[in-house]
Amino acid sequence: MSTQTNGMTATEYIIACHANRDRVTPGEIVNVSVDLCMSNDATTLLTDKIMKERMKTPTVWDPSRVVIIIDHQVPADSVDTSIVQEQMAKLVEAQKIDKFHTTDGVCHQVMLENYVTPGALIMGADSHTCSYGSIGSVSSGIGSTDLAAIWASGETWLKVPETIRFILNGQLKPYVSAKDVALHIINQVRANGLTYKAMELAGPGVSTLDVPERFTICNMAVEAGAKCTMVIPDDKVISFFADLNRPIQDQTILSRLQETQNSPCASEINVDLDALEPLIACPHYVDNVRPLSEIQGLKIGQTFLGSCTNGRIEDLREGANLLKGKKVAPNMRFLVTPASVRVYKQALAEGLIEIFMDAGAVVNHPGCSTCWGAHQGILGPGQRMVTTGNRNFKGRAGSPDSEIYLASPSVVVASAITGELTHPKEVV
Amino acid sequence: MGQAWKFGDNIDTDQIIPSQYLVLPTIQDMAKHTMEPQNPDFSKAFQTGDILVGEVNFGCGSSREQAPLVLKELGVRVIIALDFARIFFRNCINNGILPIEHPCAKEISDKDQLTIDLSKGEIHNQTTGKTYLFNKIEGYLAEILNAGGLSEYIANKKGSADD
């Protein structure tokens, strides 16, 4: 590890450490060693085929640094899916990979709970890999060829990104959540506004947000094109890892990252948390954002609470608090999918699952579920869903003639109760 | 020379290859569904050498490399757009598809006849008579493109190191 941060941002510092350099500057292309890489059932077999057939490399460079997670279609929903999962299990056995998860939840939540650490450099063949900046690692989504090259060599090339620092001020009002912060930022910079950039969350408002809320915002950064994200770890991150029974071992990295707080960056954008209100991303673009107040009342047939964006215990609590003792609207299809088995068990222990079931929800086993649109809760033509997921692309959850609206957990649950887009305060 | 297939802003990878087809056994099987939500006839009507044209943020969304692979399978070698999403841009280069970022994407209409001269860095629109120059990709990325993709580049390097 470089002992000096040399005026670099946290992102630049972590990249420099992995490039074995004292200093890197934005725009430079550097070769980096990768601490961990991850792929899932949508991307693993293609990676394996590319490494073996096209790169003529039979084995991964270090099986202990390769994580493979089945999460997109759990349990298998077709003959083709079942074959894919069987082939993945064979591959894992042949390569002696022990970080293999078949039923534990969405890959990013499983990574957060088990593997990511501050200061690490992590690449994943899934676009939402950018989420782990929320605890102070540099992580980014890549394609299968890039991952195959990492499997073969343990290295990849990166263009050092400029850092755009979002200065958060104040704190969120009741019924406004981290999802609204994410949608606000995407609306402000547009869907390509952070392409090739690192999004750093800073300012006094950060300390008002818990780690899962930071994760939600960092997760959605790719919807503005961001390469990676960063929140400099603070006491909340330290206790978050202690609660996971995975206390942070390397204290030095924490102080180094702290030192980068006032480093120069490409630009700063202010976000006043107090001024935000519940927002909705309307079809078919994540940056087609409108205040809930402008479109409330729109009829909704399906609601989804879950995903790597909003399927954590805090999100389920937020939903269950509103729902307790109530039923969902007649004919409402309300799907709840905890982001991981750990979250699921916690929700069971707290009685949240019972609240969802009593209200008429379908509770699914942890995984990508309805957010990914090829598995559970598929939409037909003309149907509308409001979801805590991260994408509302045309046809993302089934028919190209269906409509997806992105919102926070409390707006989703309020809408499940009334059958139309609803402000959570209306159902209290 | 090829025909332009013009699309708008934010063509995401779920448009290029929808999620439900990613479990099909081969890229050939998946390619039959290329661009299906936008145009169900796309894969049948697209001819090798035709040119895909988008506007803002082409290829945003999922990191799925099946997106450039189905395009390559149908014969896409060049895509022109105002700008590209990061992961898709890398995935194109890694598979030997040239992504050209150029403001002319706005002036190209569906079915325009285009000629692209990669050695000169020139796009000629025969329908409108306009010619545009683009920055050729050079250095490391050009070597990857010339090899046909990153895998071939790595395999070639390994081959020459073994000799």
pLDDT digit string, tens, across residues B27-82: 999 999 999 999 999 999 999 999 999 999 999 999 999 999 999 999 999 999 99
pLDDT of res. A136: 98
pLDDT of res. A2: 66
Q: In the CATH hierarchy, which top-level class contains the domain A279-427?
A: alpha beta
Band of residue B145 on the pLDDT scale cut at 50, 70, 90 = confident
| Residue predicted with more confidence, B23 or A392 | A392
Residues A2-24, mean pLDDT to the nearest whole number: 94
Domains of chain A, by residue range, sit at 10-274, 279-427
φ/ψ of A164, rounded to 5, equals -105, 120
pLDDT of res. B154: 80
Say what percent of chain A tops pLDDT 90: 96
A63 preceded by a cis bond (ω within 30 of 0): no
Distances in whole angstroms, Cα of residue A99 to Cα of each of A69, A92, A425, B156, B157: 8, 9, 43, 32, 31
Say what percent of chain B tops pLDDT 90: 78
The angle, 0 to 180 degrees and rounded to 10, between the axes of the packed helices A313-323 and A341-349 is 40
Structural domain range at position B24? 2-137
Residue B147 inside a domain? The answer is no
Angle at A211 between CA A112 and CA A325, to 5 degrees: 100
Evaluate if residue A76 carries a pLDDT over 90.
yes
Q: Are the Cβ atoms of A142 and B66 closer than 8 angstroms? A: no
pLDDT digit string, tens, across residues B7-40: 999 999 999 999 999 989 899 999 999 999 999 9
pLDDT of res. A179: 98
pLDDT of res. A280: 98
Q: Nearest chain A Cα to B14, which residue?
A: A396
Band of residue A145 on the pLDDT scale cut at 50, 70, 90 = very high
Instruction: Work out how many domains chain B is built from and give that number.
Output: 1
Q: Is A170 exposed, middle or buried (0-12, 13-18, 19+ CB in 10 A)?
A: middle
* Chain A contact for B154 (CB, 8 A cutoff): yes
pLDDT of res. A33: 98
Chain A CB contacts of B158 below 8 Å: 55-56
Evaluate if residue B163 carries a pLDDT over 80.
no
Among A244, A39, A203, CA closest to B65: A39
Residue B95 inside a domain? The answer is yes
CATH code of B67's domain: 3.20.19.10
Evaluate if residue A68 carries a pLDDT over 60.
yes
* Chain A contact for B59 (CB, 8 A cutoff): no
Q: Are the Cβ atoms of B154 and A46 closer than 8 angstroms? A: no
Band of residue A221 on the pLDDT scale cut at 50, 70, 90 = very high
Q: CA-CA distance, B89 to B97, in Å (whole number)?
A: 9
Identity of the residue in B23, B86, B154 whose CB atom sits nearest the CB atom of A225 = B86
pLDDT of res. B137: 79
Question: Would you say B58 and B84 are in contact if contact means Cβ atoms under 8 Å apart?
Answer: yes
Name the minimum distance, in Å, from the CA of A20 to any CA of chain B. Answer: 21
Say what percent of chain A tops pLDDT 70: 100
Band of residue B119 on the pLDDT scale cut at 50, 70, 90 = confident
Evaluate if residue B135 carries a pLDDT over 90.
no
Complex ipTM: 0.90
Residues A50-67, mean pLDDT to the nearest whole number: 95
Among A287, A290, A276, A274, CA closest to A188: A287
Residue B74 inside a domain? The answer is yes
Q: Are the Cβ atoms of A195 and B65 closer than 8 angstroms? A: no
A10-274 shares its CATH topology with A279-427:
yes
Residue B63 inside a domain? The answer is yes
Band of residue A1 on the pLDDT scale cut at 50, 70, 90 = low
Query: In the Cβ-directed half-sphere of A10, how many Cα atoms lie within 13 Å?
Result: 33
Residue B46 inside a domain? The answer is yes
Residues A196-209, mean pLDDT to the nearest whole number: 98
Evaluate if residue B161 carries a pLDDT over 70.
no
Q: CA-CA distance, A97 to A116, in Å (whole number)?
A: 17
Distance of CA A149 to the CA centre of its chain: 24
Band of residue B148 on the pLDDT scale cut at 50, 70, 90 = confident
pLDDT of res. B15: 96
* Chain A contact for B14 (CB, 8 A cutoff): yes
Residue B11 inside a domain? The answer is yes
Residue B149 inside a domain? The answer is no
* Chain B contact for A40 (CB, 8 A cutoff): no
Among A202, A203, A208, CA closest to A178: A208
| Residue predicted with more confidence, A25 or B136 | A25
Name the minimum distance, in Å, from the CA of B24 to any CA of chain A. Answer: 6
CATH number of the structural domain A10-274: 3.30.499.10
Evaluate if residue B162 carries a pLDDT over 60.
no
pLDDT digit string, tens, across residues A103-113: 999 999 999 99
Question: What's the mean per-residue pLDDT of chain A?
Answer: 96
Band of residue B84 on the pLDDT scale cut at 50, 70, 90 = very high
